């Protein structure tokens, strides 16, 4: 199996879009990535009269969050998830029910064919969708200071440490940050988070490797790191489980019509 191709992140500055690239990437590649800033989506959070319907079960959490900045960031991230998924599934965003697995990973209740990953840092919010398997996304400021000596003892494999040592000194922080975000994205895709020992796997030349640098047969996985919004790095890990999935990702064709009608009738308004 060829390695999975990870979609290039799309900047969507407002709920109105542009969204066509999301459905195109999900149909063609099996995955899609969207990024924005919470300040770009803040006007929609503050002005939409449909916010209770859009947040659904998250509305009480939004209401009881005392810090305004935290509250607005939370709302913007949930609106981004729902609008991204709605663009892929061709349903209104308020008809989607966002729920959470143990550990806080979001998923769409009733849409098990779609995997989600959310990451945010500073002003940036990023969402990954996949219809072929697991997906993990991680974002960090591109100029984030890194403590190389700490990462080498607690995060990097021996092979990664050797590769970093071979680079010019001014290139090491950027490579270290790229490795860190790739490890975060992969562990999120596996549903492990920080429970997965980062020294137990590595990335050499963008490929999954063992601690000694040997390549792992990763045909079911794709990994990529992209610069986004001029000042952030976004890394993604995409899995293809090899199961046959419909190329048409609209909810009306992917779901049983009876179940779809019942779900739509009972969705929060």
* Residue-wise pLDDT tens digits, 3-24: 789 999 999 999 999 999 999 9
The model's pLDDT over 93-132, given as tens digits with 9 standing for 90+, comes to 999 999 998 878 899 999 888 999 999 999 999 999 999 9
Q: Going by DSSP bridges, is the β-strand pair 106-108/31-37 parallel, antiparallel, or unpaired?
A: unpaired
Q: What is the CATH number that goes with domain 10-248?
A: 3.90.470.20
Distances (CA, A) of 48 to 42, 65, 67, 72: 10, 19, 20, 13
The Cα–Cα gap between 26 and 28 comes to 6
Confidence of residue 1 (pLDDT cuts 50, 70, 90): very low
């Amino acid at each position: 199996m060829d390695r999975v191709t990870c979609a290039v992140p799309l900047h969507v500055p407002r709920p109105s879009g542009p969204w066509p690239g999301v459905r195109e990437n999900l149909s063609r590649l099996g995955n899609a990535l969207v990024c924005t800033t919470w300040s770009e989506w803040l006007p929609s959070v503050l002005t939409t009269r449909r916010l209770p319907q859009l947040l659904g079960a998250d509305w009480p959490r939004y209401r009881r969050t005392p810090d305004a900045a935290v509250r607005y960031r939370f709302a913007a991230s949930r609106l981004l998830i729902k609008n991204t998924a709605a663009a892929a599934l061709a349903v209104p965003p308020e008809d989607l029910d966002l729920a959470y697995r143990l550990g806080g990973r979001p998923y769409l209740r009733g849409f098990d064919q779609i995997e989600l990953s959310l990451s945010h840092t500073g002003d940036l919010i990023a969402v990954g969708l996949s219809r072929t398997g697991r997906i993990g996304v991680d974002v960090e400021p591109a100029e984030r200071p890194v403590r190389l000596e700490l990462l080498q003892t607690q995060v990097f494999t021996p092979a990664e440490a050797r590769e970093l040592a071979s680079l010019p000194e001014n290139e090491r922080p950027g490579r270290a940050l790229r490795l860190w975000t790739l490890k975060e994205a992969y562990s999120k895709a596996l549903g492990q988070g920080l429970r997965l020992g980062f020294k137990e796997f590595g990335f050499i030349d963008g490929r999954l490797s063992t601690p000694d640098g040997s390549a792992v047969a990763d045909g079911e996985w794709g990994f990529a790191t992209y610069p986004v919004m001029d000042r952030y790095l976004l890394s993604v890990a995409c899995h293809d489980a090899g199961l046959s999935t419909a190329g048409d990702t609209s909810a009306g064709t992917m779901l049983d019509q009876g179940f779809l009608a019942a779900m739509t009738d009972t969705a929060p308004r």
